[in-house]
């Protein structure tokens, strides 16, 4: 008898386990090729880890501030 697997629940469990609250955690060799959700204060940003990111912290690649742009004042 084969066991039935619900893939919807599996993806929700997988997403929950990949959330990183500590932005100071280092990226190691076995993190390469995976995506993680890094906490940014009011939510999570998804980042994909490549080989150039090894040795850095997760927080280095997750921006917490909104990009600023000057308003165009038309007279």
Q: Counting beta carbons within 10 angstroms of the beta carbon of residue 73, is it exposed (0 to 12), middle (13 to 18) or buried (19 or more)?
A: exposed
CATH topology of domain 16-61: 30s Ribosomal Protein S19; Chain A (3.30.860)
Per residue in 52-63, pLDDT (tens digit) is 999 999 999 988
Give the whole-angstrom CA distance, residue 16 versus residue 37.
Answer: 9
Instruction: Provide the residue ranges of all domains of the chain, joining segments of one domain with +.
Output: 16-61
Per residue in 12-58, pLDDT (tens digit) is 445 556 898 888 989 999 999 999 999 988 899 999 999 999 999 99
pTM confidence score: 0.67
Q: Counting beta carbons within 10 angstroms of the beta carbon of residue 40, is it exposed (0 to 12), middle (13 to 18) or buried (19 or more)?
A: middle
């Amino acid at each position: 008898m084969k066991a039935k697997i619900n893939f919807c629940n599996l993806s929700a469990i997988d997403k929950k386990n990949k959330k990183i609250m500590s932005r100071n955690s280092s990226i190691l060799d076995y993190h390469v090729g995976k995506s993680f959700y890094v906490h940014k204060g009011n939510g999570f940003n998804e980042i994909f880890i490549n080989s150039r990111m090894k040795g850095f912290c997760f927080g280095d690649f997750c921006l917490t501030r909104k990009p600023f742009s000057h308003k165009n004042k038309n007279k």
